[in-house]
Structure formats: C-alpha cells, structure tokens
Structure 1
Amino acid sequence: MKRRDFFRKSAASALGASLVPSVVNAAGLGPIKPDRTIDNWLSMGTGEMREPTRKKEVTYGVAVLGGGLAGMCAAVAAARNGAKVVLVQDRPVLGGNASSEMRVHVNGVTHLKPDNFPERETGIIEEILLHNRFFNPQESFAVWDHVLYDFIYQEDNIDLMLNTQATRAIMSGDKIASAHCWQITTETEYIIHAKQFIDCSGDGLLAASAGALYRTGREASSEFGEKYAPKVADGWQMGATLLMLSKDMGKPVFFDPPSYTIKYDAEKSHPKRNFKAYQDGIWWVEVGSDDDIIGEREIIRHKLMGYMYGVWDYIKNSGKFPEAENLALDWVGSIPGMRESRRFIGDYILSEKDLLGHTHFSDAVAYGGWSLDEHNPGGIENLKEPPSYFHERFSEVYEIPYRSLYSKNISNLFFAGRNISQTHIALSSTRVMATCALMGHAVGIAAAMCVQKNIFPRDITHQYMNELQEKLLREDAFIPNRPARDINDLAKKSALVFASSTSSGDVSLLLDGISRDFNNEVHHWQSDGLPAEVQLEWKNPVTISTVEIKCDTNLRRNIMMRKDSKVSDSFWNDIPKELIKSLELVVRVSGEWIRVGSLNKNMKRLIKFNFDTVKVTAVRIILNDTYGVRNAKLFEIRCYR
C-alpha cells in the first residue's frame, strides 16, 4: 500500500471509529450514539450493575463555540452584557492558535507603514494581554494557558466546557434550536439550547451542520475586482503550520532525524524562504490544500511533522548553520495551527477592495491592518514560490462591518474569527488573532442585545447599530472614524473641566469621544508630573454612580507574548510603564469632598469606579503614580447614573 493511500484510509477509519459521535447515520436521524445498555459495569461502591448513560440538557442565552481568542472575547462580552453564556472548546486549554499547543503570536495591527509601529487593539483583548503581563512575567506558554483559564473563570456569567465539540446543529426552521455536543473526557452527550449561537471555532462545524452558506478556496479576480486573486477560481486554501523551539545545550548536540522525516530540498527553494530566528520556529513549514482541507487534516499533520524535521535536519546537518551546533529541539508542536477552511456567507462579503480602499462602513464594529499576507498555494510543497506573497502592507487601518459577522440564511447565528464572511484575499489580513478578537467582542455584545430584546442579528443592522457601536466604544473597543456620542454620558454635560497641570494635549479632549491619539491627531491630556488632578464641574447637581476612565498603555507598542521575548521601540515584554498604577476618586456633595473609590494596583486601561448613587456638583480624579513614567496620560472620562 502506498504511503499516501495508507494515510487516506487511516483517516477514514479514524472518522468511522471516532469517539466524537459526529457521523450521521444513513437515515439522516443524527449522530450514531454508543450503545451503553451492554456495558458490564459492576460498581463496587454500590454493589450494583449500572448503565453509564451520561446525557445532559442545558439552556443558555448565548452559546459560543470555540475557545480561541475570538471566542473568549465573545463569551466575556456577552456575559458582561447580561447574558448567561456557555463557552465550548474542543481542546483542554483555551487560546486556540495562541495556546501552548501551537504558540502563535497574537498579532493584529502590529506593523503599519512606514515605521512598523502598531495601532494596538483595546477592549477585552487588551485586558487579556495585560492580565498575562501581571501574572506571567516569566512568559511561560504553559502558564499563559492558565492565565486565559483564569480570565474566563472569573466571569460569573460563563460556564466553560473544555474537551467538548459541537458536532451538529438541531434546527427549528431557519434557527438553531440547540447544539449537539460531545465531551470526550466525561463521555457525556450534551444538548445545549440557546437563543443565540456564535461560531468562533475556525472550521465552523456547527454552522455548517446548520446549513449556513459557506465557501472555500480562492475567488476569481473578476468576482470582487480583486487584483491579487487568481483569474480563475480554484480550491486552494492557506495551509497549517507546526512550530518548534530550540535550546542551547552549551555543547555540541547530534541530531538524527526520525523515520518519517521528509528531506528539505534547499536547492529548489525560493530565496525568500529564509531562516531568520530559526531557533524560535519557522512559520513557513506549512502544508495547504486545493480541496477538503478539513478532511485531509490528519494527512497534513503527518506531512508537517515530516517537513518540520526535514528543515531541522537541514539546519543541523547541512553545514550551512555552524551556529546551530549546540542547539537541540526543546519543544515541538503536534497540533498544526490552522489559517483557513470554511468562510461563511453573511449579508456582506468583505473583500480586498474594501481593505485596500479603506471602505467606510456605517456598521463598522472592528478594524484590522495586518498586511495582505497570502501564503502560497501548497506551502512547503510549492518550494519554487515564496512562502507568502505579502502583497501589500497598510499605512492605516481598515474597517470591518457588522454585516460580515452573522449568517445570511441562519437567523440566530454569528461568526467571529477566520470563518467570517470575506474573500480569500481579505482573509489573508483579517485572520490574525487580535483582529479576530475584536470581532468576537462585537458579536458578544450583539448576541446579548439579541437575547435581551428578543431580536435577531440582522435586526441590529437595521434598528440598533448605534446602540451596538456605543456599547463597544464604552467598553474600550475602538472603531475608526466613529467617535462616541453616548447621550447617557453625564461627563459630556459638565460645564467645566480642568487639570492641575498639563504637559501635552488638552484636558477638554477627554470629552471628545475618541479614546486614543489617531491619524496624527491628539486626543489626550497629559500631566506635568505626579500627583496630578482632573476635575469636572456641573452647574446643577447630577446623580451618578459610575465613573469610567481610559488611561494610557502606549498603543504604539505591542505587548503580546512572543517566543523570543522581543523588546524594541515597537515591542515590549513587561507591564506598560505608562499605565496608571494608583489613583483616587472624590466627589463633591453639598460642598463637601467625599472619597468614593481608590486603586493601588490598577491592571487595566479602562478603569471603572462603581459606588452608591450620589448627587454631586463635581468629580475629581487624583492620579498618584504610574508603573514607570513621570507623567500620567488620560484619553477619556465618562460619568453615568
């Protein structure tokens, strides 16, 4: 039997014998379930013969499928907006491609032209990255898994199901009524009922089983007027990658490649297949597909292991890398990081022209700016081509519309991540994880709104878009070209705002609705030394119970965890020095100043003070210290009843 046929047959056999009951029977009645009536279980605890039938039905407002960063942000956003949420993840850890199982950097708008500075993402994804800076200073990927777990666990409205896959949708007309799931560790069948479903799983098995429209492969250039698309549509999808890490052993280390190694043919390789920083992994050890990339996944995984060891064999034994003599492999991935499979169809299909032309969308809810980074068809099996074409880099961010984040034909189904409604070329940029996380934040809020208002995703487009955008902006997401105009923000109704000192910006900018410096325009106030104070005054008393402040974390510097712990003008591996560390909030009530809040170890850009409702004529924010700079910088102050 040929090796290729063996792996094809093995994959088919594994599917038929899978522990995950996702095989639909011939009558179309649903998944084949294990027969437990013949299970010979003698329970010594009870002395009884028992039948281990484990089936549970649970009900939620919002069900999120997929525990990568997009799914995490969607779950947190929905929970914080009042929905009861279940987050279903088919792995034992959260984080998806960013987890310790794959170790991909959390890129987003990471390097804009011309200076390679970011326009960093805020909101929930920044909270996650800051959480890691405080609780994982050693930058351990294994600890990072648990930082993510802690971030979800601390949310009261989220139930987390790990090692669980949603295998099929149970429909009621054009709605998903429930998701059939299988938890492999407990051998438990779950039926999850929910009003709204968010598929952030990447491959989108639940959405596909619901009958949601989707496509795979590359569109023809004529369909959307894309200059980087092929003239004729084809099935090629960007491939998966396995990463590895090496360790300097301080002495020469011999490497003997394993039996399944596939020789790396350097003579036939494109010169852009460079080995820069190979000690921390080579992203272009990749295998794609021109057909069913999901069905071929086990074949692809095996090939990737062979190619990865072939590249390492070349590094160690070709004589071209004498500096590798003391290096040994320290960690090798076993689960490929995926780039592309299904792309579901929404009310709008985002395309290359939207990104390059910076289309302004009235329903914009997220943004991106990673380069048009289309990996070549076939990956490492197409050595004559560069590993990625890097068609164009961006000098400013582009907008992502809400209409691309829900299904065109399934009425209660959202998407966030690489499976949204977009073309192959658009995906080459939007697929990076921090950008996907912004989509998750948006649909999480939208799903909670749908539950509360008893509406569907499309209804928000036509009736509630302003409300969705205002909620996003209040939660410190950023929407380009969309300042906040929240009529409930009492800070905007203040008669006077002033500061004890100013070194740059203007204190009045804290009320302009734009919570970052953007497009070379200043939207901040910065003190001249510390401590410093900012005060708001009203002519007549106002009733408030919440004050929200957005401070500085230097959004022109990346803070994701990297395998190389990079520190430069545009990367940082510690707590941002600009972040406010300690501050106080006092209010004036009947002429008397009363302290209503204080923080001595702030860990967030968005700082919230909640207190008993009180009628005030002034609010004063006292800034005492940062994590390392002499001046404090603020971008926004809001007050609410």
Structure 2
Amino acid sequence: MKRRDFFKNGMLGAAGLGILGASELEAKDKKGKKTVLSDRSKDQWTDMNGHQQKVPQRVKAKTFDVVVVGGGLAGICAAVASAREGVKTALVQDRSVLGGNASSEIRVLVNGVNHLVPDWIPEREIGIIEELLLQNRFQNPQESFPYWDHVLYDFVDREPHLELILNTQAIHAEMSGNNIKTAVCWQNTTETELHLSAKQFIDCSGDGLLAAKAGAEYRTGREASHEFNEKYAPKKADGWQMGTSILIHGKDYGKPMPYTPPSFAIPFTLEGSHPKRKVQSYTEGYWWCEVGSEFDIIEDQEEMRKKLMGYVHGIWDYIKNSGEYPDSANFALDWIGSVPGKRESRRFIGDHILSERDLVDHKHFEDAVAFGGWSLDEHNPGGLENMKEPPSYFHKQFSKVYEIPFRSLYSKNINNLMFSGRNISQTHIALSSTRVMATCALMGQATGTAASMCIKKKTSPRGIYQKYMNDLQDILLMNDAFIPNRPSNLKNDQFKKANKIIASSTGSGDVELLKDGWSRDLQKSTNHWMSKGLPAEVQCEWDEAVDLSSVIIKCDTNVKVNIMMRHVYKNKIYTDKVPPEMLKSLSLEARVNGKWVELGDVDNNQTRRICFEFDQIKTTGLRIKLKETYGADAAKLFEINALS
C-alpha cells in the first residue's frame, strides 16, 4: 500500500487523530455530552481499592479568556504577555518541556537580529524575550539545556493568571460561526480529553493544527516570483518547504574515543558536496543535517525523522572514521537529538501577507508591532538530498531592522484567532528571515498583549487594528518592546511633562533624552543619558503636584551583544555573562508635602525594565539614585515613565 493511500484509509495513530473531525470520533459521557477520543465504555477496570468496578471518566472542561497553543518561545511570550495584563490565560504545550526548537529536545540557538551589515553588530530583541534570556544568564551560567527547560518552566509557572497545560495537543476546534468556541485537546499522560473554551485563541504551535481545524485559510510551498514581485522566489510556484534538522553535541573526553555507527546510519560524505556545507565544529551539531519536502511536510514528518536519524549518524561516522578529521579522535557524541526541529509548514493568511519586498525595502507599517533582521536565509530544497546546492542561499543580509505588521498576526477569516511564529501570514521568502525564534517571540508578546485588549475592549483582533492600534503599540512600548519608527507616547506619562530634569553628572547623551520616547540608541541617533560614574542621581521637578502610582525605568543591557546560549564565543558580539552595563542597585524617592519619601529600593535587579509600583501619591519631584551596575563604571538610562 502506498504511503498516501495508507493515510487515507484511516490510520488512527497520533498523526491520524489530528486529521479527523469530531463527527468521526464521537462518544458520549454520563451527562450525554458529545466527546472526542475519550469513550471508555469498554474499559474493564477493577479497582482493588474497595474491589470496585469503575469506568474512567477523563473529560474535563475549562474556561479561560485566552488560550495560547504552542509552548515555544513565541507561545511563552504570548501567554506571559496576556497573563500580565490580568486576563485568565492557558498555555497548551504538546511536549513535557517548554521551548519548542529552543528546548533541550532540539537545541536550536535563539537567533534574532544577531548581526547587521556592514559592521556585523546585533540589534538585540528586548521585552519579554530579553527578560527570559537574562533570567537564564542568572540561573543557568553553566548553559545547560536541560536546566534551560526549567528556567522556561519557572518563567511561566510564576505568573498568577497563567495556567500551563503540558503534554497536550489541540486537535480539534469547536466553532460558533467564524469564531473558535472551544479547543478540544488530548493530554496523553493522563488519557484526558480537555475542552478549553475561550474568547481569544493564539496558535503559536508552528504547524497550526488548531487553526487548520478551525478552517483558517493557509498555504504551503513557494510562491511564484510574480505574485509578490519577489526577486528570490522561483519563477513558478511549487510545493517545496524548508526542512527539519536533527542536531548533535560532541564532547572532548581527553582520550581516544572510537565510534561504531548503528545499523540505521546512512553512509555520508562531503565529496562532491557544495563547498559551503562544512564541518566547522564537533560540539554544536550541523544545521545542514536537513531534509525538506515538496509535498505535505506534516504527513511526511515521520519519514523525514527516520532519514535524519540515519543521516546524523552517517555524518558523525564520516567525521570519526573517514580519516579527514584526525583532530576529532578524542571527541564522542554527548547528546543526539531525536526530535527534528521544524522550519516551515503551514502559513496562515491574515489581512496582510508579509513578503520579501516588505522586508528588503524596509516598508513602514502604521500597525508595526515587532521587528526582524535575520538574513533571507532560504535553505535549499531537499537539504541533504540536494547536495550540489548550498545548504542555504543567504540571499540578502540586512543593514537595518524591518517591521512586522499586526495584520500579519491574525486570521483573515476566523474572527478570534491570532498567530505568532513561523505560521504567520507571510510568503515563503519572508519566512526565511522571520522564522528565527527571538523574532517569533516578539510576535508572541504582540499577540498576547492584543488578546488581552480584545477581552477588555470586547472586540476582535481586526477591531484592535481598526480602533485601538495606537493603544496596543503604547502598551507594548511601555512593556519594553521596541517598534521601529514608533516612539512611546503614553497619554498618562507625567515624566514627559516635567518642567525640569537634572542629572548629578553626565558622561554621554543628554538627560532630556530620557523623555523622547525611544528606549535604545538607534543607528543614527543617541537616545540615552549616562552618568560619569557611580553613585549618580536623576531628578525631575513639576511646578504643580502630579498624581503618580508607578515609575518605569529602562536601563542599559547592551543590545549590541547577543546573550543567548551559544557555548562557543568566537567574537565580541556574543557573551555568556550578565551584561555588566545593567543596573544592579537603585532606589526611588518622591517629594511628598515637601519631604523626600522612599518609594522603593532594588538591590538585585535582573531586568532592563525596572518598575516601581506604589499607592497613588501627589508629588512635585522624583529622585532616582543609581548605586551599582553588574560591572560597568557608569549607569546608562534610556527612558523613564512616571504614570498616574
């Protein structure tokens, strides 16, 4: 039987369940409610605790404001952003660990705007993703991937309005017109069918099964160049999608380590290969150990996994036993992936389809909510099965970041559905850049924030675009996102209205720049104030008393250096340390009734965005005392918000 015929004839494995609708798998529980998957009427269970005959009842229903599907970095940032706005949120992840491609199961680097030409300097992402990477620097200095899983778990678990649901896949959408009413999920560890109802859904799962089952429009494959005027697209549209990879980690054991390949290894050689496919390190694996598909890449996934398992051992056999790499003698495989890391499958259609031209022409979008700048990194069709071509074309390197519009992050035809990650509304060529995880995380923060606004404003994502776009952007900026060409303009920011701003000393920049709305230095402009040394103070004065309940300070974490786990630090744009520029210790005072009163004191700050919250006061002055950084001799600030 052919593979596709086998699939059509009703295979009910894990993949098969994903393509069946509720009508094909219906049962009823005791109350007569229709269920999917969970009919246990034939279960012959004798519970020896009381010798009772039982039938497992494993159907649960829960209600949330927002349900986020997919626990990669995009999903984490979406769920955390939503929960922090005070709405009841669920994060559904189909694995036992969070992180998706970044998890210990797959171990892809958290790339983003790692470098811009010609100087090869980063423009690093801030907001929730930076907060998460900084937490990893403090908690996981050993750069252990298994411990990184627990950093992610801690980051999510501590949010009071967020419920994490692991080992659970959303496999069906119950609809009410053009709205998703309930996500029907299967938790394999508890054999439980979960019905998760919500007003807003965000599919950050990559493959987007929930969105597909809801009827959201999507496409796969490569667009023809004429459709979006894309220089790097093929002349004729086809089905090719970038493939999946399996990574390995080698370790130097200080003594000769022989290697015998397993029976399933596929013989491999670089002889005759394109010269850009290289063995450069024995410790970080080979992203070009990849297999793509020109058909249904999701249906093909298990075949691709099997091939990759063989190829990855074939590559290591070639390194160890071909004689071409004698310096590998003391290296052995310390870790081998078994879960392929995916790059591409479904791309859902929104009100705007992001294209190559939008990126390379740096199109300005009034609804921009995120940015990117990874190169147009289109991997070749077929991967290792197309060895004559380079492993990736790297069509274009960017000299500055581009914008990602909100209209590409919600569904064109499902009213309460958004996306973040590689499944957003974009072309294949645009995906070749936006798919990296730090960029996807920025989208997640945007959609999570938008979902909370949908709840509060009682509207749809499209309604947010039509009526509340400025509000969404201002909330994102207040929470330390960065939007190119869009400064912060919070209506209730009293700091901008201060009559006088005074600094105890100035080493660079200007203290007046702290109210210009920009939270980082841009390529052609300075937007900071920095002291000459420490301790230092910044003080602002109002002629008339103002009401305040919070003060937000954006300090320096040096966004020109990457802080993701890399293990190999070859140059000045990567660090495995806590940024020395970041403020460690500071305090805040306010003048109330003519006397200075301390509002807060921080001795172990671990974030760029430092927020002091307090009961509302009337004040004519604020004083920020900057005491210590994590190593720098002076303190640099970018923005201060004083909110009523």
Q: Which whole-Å CA distance do the structure 1 matches of 2:212 and 2:123 have between them?
A: 34
Deviation at 1:14, TM superposition (A): 10
Q: Aligned equivalents of 2:223 and 2:50: distance in 1?
A: 62
1:397 matched to which residue of 2? 401
Separation (CA, whole Å) in 1 of partners of 2:62 and 2:556: 42
RMSD: 1.6
Aligned to 2:426: 422
Match of 1:454 in 2: 458
Equivalent position to 2:221, from 217, 221, 232: 217
Q: Which residue of 2 aligns with 1:633?
A: 636
> Out of 522, 527, 552, which is 1:523 matched to?
527
Counterpart CA distance in 2 for 1:507 and 1:460 is: 35
Q: What's the counterpart of residue 618 of structure 2?
A: 615
Equivalent position amino acid for 1:617 in 2: T
Where does residue 570 of structure 1 map in the other structure?
A: 573
CA distance in 1, matches of 2:375, 2:299: 29
**Does structure 2 retain, via aligned residues, the 8 Å contact 1:565–1:573?**
no
2:600 is matched with which residue: 573, 597, 606? 597
Q: Give the C-alpha shift of residue 253 in structure 1.
A: 1.6
- Distance in 2 separating the partners of 1:142 and 1:13: 40
What are the residue-to-residue correspondences of 1:394-543 with 2, within 5 Å?
394-543=398-547
My pick for the range that moved more, 196-205 or 279-288, is 279-288
Q: TM-score, normalised by structure 1?
A: 0.97
Q: Which moved more, 1:504-513 or 1:46-55?
A: 46-55
More divergent stretch after superposition (357-366 vs 33-42): 33-42
| 36-45 vs 292-301, which moves further | 36-45
Q: Following TM superposition, by how much is the alpha carbon of 1:567 offset from its aligned partner in structure 2, in angstroms?
A: 5.9
Going from structure 1 to structure 2, the CA distance change for 1:130 and 1:171 (only over 3 Å counts) comes to same
Q: Please, what TM-score do these two structures have when normalized by structure 2?
A: 0.97
Q: Does 1:290 align with 2:294?
A: yes
The reply on whether 1:241 has 2:245 as its aligned counterpart is yes
Q: C-alpha deviations, 1:168-220, integer Å up to 9, x for none?
A: 11001000001000000001100010000000000000000000000000000
For residues 275-305 of structure 1, give each alpha carbon's deviation from its aligned partner in whole angstroms, at most 9, with x where no partner exists: 1123310110000000000001110000001
Give the secondary-structure state (helix, strand or coil) at the position aligned to 1:281.
Answer: coil
1:346 touches 1:421 (CA, 8 Å); kept in 2? yes
The answer to whether the Cα contact below 8 Å between 2:74 and 2:420 also exists between their aligned partners in 1 is yes
Deviation at 1:257, TM superposition (A): 1.1
3-state SS in 2 of match to 1:473: helix
Structure 1 CA distance, aligned partners of 2:497 and 2:38? 64
User: Any stretches of 5+ residues in structure 1 without a counterpart?
Assistant: none
1:166-177 alignment to 2 at 5 Å? 166-177=170-181
User: 1:300 matched to which residue of 2?
Assistant: 304
How far is 1:262 from its partner?
A: 1.0
Question: 1:46: how far off?
Answer: 3.1
Q: Which residue matches 1:18? A: 14
**Residue pairs, 1:22-101, within 5 angstroms:** 22=18, 24=20, 28=24, 33-101=37-105
The 3-state SS of whatever aligns with 2:155 is helix
Equivalences for 1:163-202 in 2 at 5 Å? Answer: 163-202=167-206
Q: Which residue of 1 aligns with 2:279?
A: 275
Q: Which runs of 5+ in 2 are unaligned?
A: 27-34
User: Does the CA-based 8 Å contact 1:118-1:556 persist in structure 2?
Assistant: yes
Q: Check whether the contact 2:59–2:192 (CA below 8 A) recurs between aligned residues.
A: yes
CA distance in structure 2 between the partners assigned to 1:251 and 1:9 by the alignment: 51
What is the deviation of 1:45?
2.0
8 A Cα contact 1:530 1:625, kept in partner: yes
Partners of 1:19 and 1:408 in 2: CA distance: 27
Q: Is the 8 A contact 2:124 2:559 kept in 1?
A: yes
> 2:602 aligned with 1:606, yes or no?
no
Larger mean Cα displacement after TM superposition, 162-171 or 23-32: 23-32
Aligned-residue offset at 1:27: 5.3
Q: Which moved more, 1:42-51 or 1:90-99?
A: 42-51
Contact 1:11 1:298 in 2 (8 A): no
Deviation at 1:519, TM superposition (A): 1.7
Amino acid at match of 1:63: V
Equivalent in the alignment of 1:128: 132
Partner of 2:371: 367
Deviations 1:335-394 (A, max 9, x none): 000000000000000000000000000000000000000000000100000000000000
Aligned to 1:587: 590
C-alpha separation in 1, matches of 2:568 and 2:142: 10
Query: What's the secondary structure of 1:278's corresponding residue?
Result: coil
Letter paired with 2:635: A
Alpha-carbon displacement from aligned partner over 1:549-576 (angstroms, at most 9, x marks no partner): 00000000000012x2426310110111
1:23 is displaced (CA, Å) by: 5.0
Q: Is the 8 A contact 1:24 1:32 kept in 2?
A: no
Helix, strand or coil at the partner of 1:584:
strand
3-state SS in 2 of match to 1:90: coil
Rounded Cα–Cα distance in structure 2 between residues aligned with 1:567 and 1:309: 27
- Per-residue deviation at 1:13? 9.3
2: CA distance between counterparts of 1:158 and 1:198? 14
Secondary structure at 2:198 match in 1? strand
Amino acid at match of 1:16: L
| CA distance in 1 between partners of 2:236 and 2:415 (Å) | 32
Deviates most, 269-278 or 204-213:
269-278
Q: 1:326 matched to which residue of 2? A: 330
1:20 Cα deviation (Å)? 8.2
> In 2, Cα distance between the equivalents of 1:432 and 1:59?
32
Q: CA deviation at 1:260?
A: 1.1
1:8 and 1:628 mapped to 2: Cα distance?
60
Counterpart for residue 141 of structure 1: 145
Per-residue CA deviations over 1:581-626 (Å, capped at 9, x if unaligned) read 0001011112111111000000000000011211111000000000
Counterpart residue number, 1:265: 269
The equivalent of 2:29 in structure 1 is none
1:288-323 CA-to-partner distances (Å, cap 9, x unmatched) read: 000000001110000001111111111111111000
| C-alpha separation in 2, matches of 1:502 and 1:190 | 58
For the residues of structure 1 that align with 2:387 and 2:627, how far apart are their CA atoms?
57
Distance in 2, matches of 1:404 and 1:56, equals 33
SS in 2 for 1:307: helix
Checking the alignment, whether the CA contact within 8 Å between 1:112 and 1:118 is kept in structure 2 is: yes
Counterpart contact for 1:262–1:310, Cα < 8 Å? yes
Taking a change above 3 Å as real, the CA distance of residues 364 and 323 of structure 1, as seen in their structure-2 partners, is same
2:552 to 548, 565, 568: 548
Match of 1:340 among 344, 349, 355: 344
After superposition, the C-alpha distances for 1:122-172 in whole angstroms (9 at most, x for unaligned) are 000000000101111111100000000000011000000000000011001
User: Separation in 2 of the partners of 1:119 and 1:146?
Assistant: 27
Amino acid across the alignment from 1:640: L
Counterpart contact for 1:23–1:32, Cα < 8 Å: no
Q: Take 2:554 and 2:211, find their aligned partners in 1: how far apart are those partners? A: 37
Gap change, CA 1:11 and 1:554, over 3 Å in 2: farther
Q: 1:116 aligns with which of 120, 124, 127?
A: 120
Instruction: Tell me, yes or no, if the aligned pair for 1:21 and 1:182 is still in contact at 8 Å.
Output: no
User: Residues of 2 paired with 1:162 and 1:12: CA distance?
Assistant: 30
Q: Is the 8 A contact 1:19 1:184 kept in 2?
A: no
Amino acid at match of 2:346: R
Q: Tell me the residue number matched to 2:386.
A: 382
What SS class does the counterpart of residue 571 from structure 1 fall into?
coil
Q: Is the 8 A contact 2:68 2:90 kept in 1?
A: yes
Q: Residue 210 of structure 2 aligns with which residue? A: 206
